[in-house]
Structure 1
Amino acid sequence: MAIPYRLPLGACFLMLTACAASPSVPLVDIENTSKSDVHDTSDTDDVAVTLTTAIDVSVPPPYRKQVEYAQIEGLSLFREDRAAWLATDAVVAAGIVDRHRSMATGWLAQQQDADGRIWNVAFTAKDGEQGVAYADVHVDLAASEPIISTQENTPPRRLSGWEEVLTYARIAFSKKEWLRCADTYNPSTQVFVDEGRKYVVVRMLPAQLKPDHLPMGGFHRFKIPMFEGESVDHFAQTSSCIDIDTSALDTNESFGMTLTTTSAPTEFDVFTSLSYRRPHYVITDAGSWLVENGKIRWLSEPKETP
């Protein structure tokens, strides 16, 4: 199977302005709704993101595609998360959030370039039945110091067709029943293209609320097809909550965890390794793995049980 890549929405904003008037769907029905019932998004280009990572020679052939996907998406998630909190700090400091708090619904962070270093973070709201963005923050992570440009939209701009779809998905799946391992979750909602077919992928990331406690469980991925013939795929990283207490670890000390839901580390393992700046070991039915600095290495086959 081809690796699915994010579809940058920066090139789609102008093309999709006409879609904003299309009929919307109830939030609770989005996973059972066909692409044509949501918005006409057929005029978008399939833009393949060129962000790539090298795969370590240790990774066995059956897992190389999975590892490639994990490294690409884990790095993108890390950059997206950083862009989102920098943008949030900017709009809060400018008082923009306070002026729109009563109608605010969240944010959408969208990759704007092939390298995944430039992002637009739209802060969304409801104006009656219409989805709008009351602010857009441009975040450039390419420089040694991020460059942040904040624009308050007066009046708030209408969301594009894809932005509306992403907002529906974000809200709908945040309300579903799934293992929650933190009081606060940060959503990631993206459009992906896989072999010419479009998907919306919603990820739920538990927020780190204490500096010495690192959430390692409770990560979720929902893959929603924007065409007929496939159902929503829900992947849960763990079946229970895992929380690492770093107060008992040395600065550079690593830790380990066992995963029963996957044979190779996922984008969530790469994301946490980059975010927490710590290597960690992962044990699966395929053996032991090391995740460090955004890279995945296979260490050994699984031990035989007596």
Structure 2
Amino acid sequence: MLREILKPSGPARVVAGAVAEIAPDVLVLQDVDYDASLAGLRALADLIQDEGGPLYPHLFARLPNSGMPSGFDLDGDGLLGGPRDAQGYGRFEGDGGMAILSLYPMDEDGIRDFSDLLWDDLPDAIAPEPPFPSPQAAAARRLSSVGHWVVPVTLPSGPLHLMTWSATPPIFDGPEDLNGRRNHDEAALWLRLLDGDLGDVPDAPFVILGNANLDPVDGDGVRGALTRLLADPRLQDPKPRGDPKPDRSGQVHRGDPALDTAAYDGAGNLRVSYVLPSADIVVRDSGVFWPKLDALGKDDLGPRHAIVWADLTLR
């Protein structure tokens, strides 16, 4: 990833240019490879500045569950050490993690990290029954395919708690529906946290934001937890609007306008990324922004997801 960021053109520069154009005060990124010194993340922050964006002095990332060896045959193929045997799908430790870039400092002593929570320990979990692929493997499986963080950002008005995650796609499994059920429970963790089932409830104001990898209407998946999140009176859904993903000619492929509000996947225009502020926050505006693809080489793949943004005022 660091090598790609340092190239004079390519997908990393496309992403950096999009971030520079939106210029968020606080940015949560998904699918960012982790290294212990944050060299890749710092290079990306420098690239964003080079593209005319903000200088982000505060960076945060932790080793994700994706690519973390489990020691078990978690996918039941009879082999050990494959990418699906990691705690979350990944070809190496640190593959496809999360990161936060911020103009404001983060209270690292106040961070709560639920990434090591075992799936079996989530109240009201819907893990496969019988345990897949074995009771021993199921008991060792963490809930988070990448991570679940509660990160306080210190604003001039006080702390804002960021509650962020990146869920597994609810596909690529078998009749046990492992990924569909796990995707559901990765969203359900926030409901359990707000209900007080996982310790202290985070103080408002807070924002739940990240990649749920699930559309509330279309595509595969178990929608119960996401539906409850979107309807929860403790939260608000800005329902951001925006064009669907453009192709390299700049043309957009329009589908149902109700779905033109978030990330694109191979299945079409799906809403899978969310910014859900707590009910006490004033949402001034929100939207979806697709990076421009004209800087890509002919063999480069553009981002699969858009920037989902919201302008917020804390009361």
Q: Which has the higher contact order (CA 8 A, sep 6+)?
A: 1
| TM over 0.5, shorter chain | no
Greater strand fraction, Structure 1 or Structure 2:
1
TM-score, with length taken from structure 1: 0.29
TM-score, with length taken from structure 2: 0.29
